[in-house]
Structure 1
């Protein structure tokens, strides 16, 4: 069996509570975990990603808030959280002036929308995240909510891939 096939079989075999515990490490929305779990058994990796897309599409505003609650502010990865550190590695080495700009832009965004700025930070630099933040702050709340939903889906897909490739 391939590594992801072995991991997939192991995930398909987990009890609901054990699987939910693993899934909320990917996305902190209990509703998302339940929706993803209800799509079992997954035939392959694509089926898990498809279930993620469907689950994200099914989340209401409160569920999206739950999902966002598990994410650190851009430019401020959670100390001791390897996932947060890895995903925001693009801010490492950024100068203080840029980090200050990012902090102020985050505060402006949070004041406007009432939640953290969420972007799939993997592979992005601090500069490109700041540019995206500035570009999105002018969005209306509904448009921004759908962008956030898409960014969460991307983040979940990356985290799902890591889970499926565990030893």
Structure 2
């Protein structure tokens, strides 16, 4: 199997450690996850990076997961000026005021029960799908929810890492 390095992956492989850590922190706020990925550079392919991400995510402790979740804004309230959270939460952008209010209420109840934001891979999901997911998942035990959060975080990290390594070598993201 041949490995093809995109300009973005090559750029990532050659970044100084602090710059690579900063880019990975934009993907996932867990410093343990980022450190594990930095330690394994260089990557021969995007798939190798994604597999390393999956392995690092599987090893995160509950505290590491909490750190990762702290980097995510609540659904329906993307970080102001952050194109990534706005893009990922696009499904809520056109939601009715009623749905936005319901999501706020559901988010608060979820956070009260689990002690962290409701985390879902929102890319491509409608506001109604996200609402239905928070309703359904609110009935989970903390242990069940922790593993669902880990899986959702894995999906988010894969999307964000793919964007990172597929971006031009100058890293000028435009969408």
TM-score with structure 1 length normalisation?
Answer: 0.95
2:50 — aligned with what? 49
Q: Moved runs in structure 1, 4+ residues, more than 6 A?
A: none
Q: Distance in 1 between matches of 2:66 and 2:118?
A: 12
Q: Distance in 2 between matches of 1:4 and 1:40?
A: 13
Q: Distance in 2 between matches of 1:83 and 1:120?
A: 12
2:149 — aligned with what? 148
TM-score with structure 2 length normalisation?
Answer: 0.91
**Deviations 1:50-85 (Å, cap 9, x if unpaired)?**
011011001101111110011010111111110010
1:120 — aligned with what? 121
1:139 — aligned with what? 140
Structure 1 unpaired stretches of 5+: none
Report how far residue 15 of structure 1 moved.
Answer: 2.1
Partner SS for 1:116: coil
Report how far residue 4 of structure 1 moved.
Answer: 5.5
Q: Distance in 1 between matches of 2:7 and 2:97?
A: 44
Structure (1 or 2) with the greater helix fraction: 1
- Let me know the Cα RMSD of the aligned residues: 1.4
Report how far residue 99 of structure 1 moved.
Answer: 0.8
Structure 2 unpaired stretches of 5+: 169-175
Query: How has the CA–CA distance of structure 1 residues 163 and 4 changed in structure 2, closer, same or farther, with 3 Å as cutoff?
Result: farther
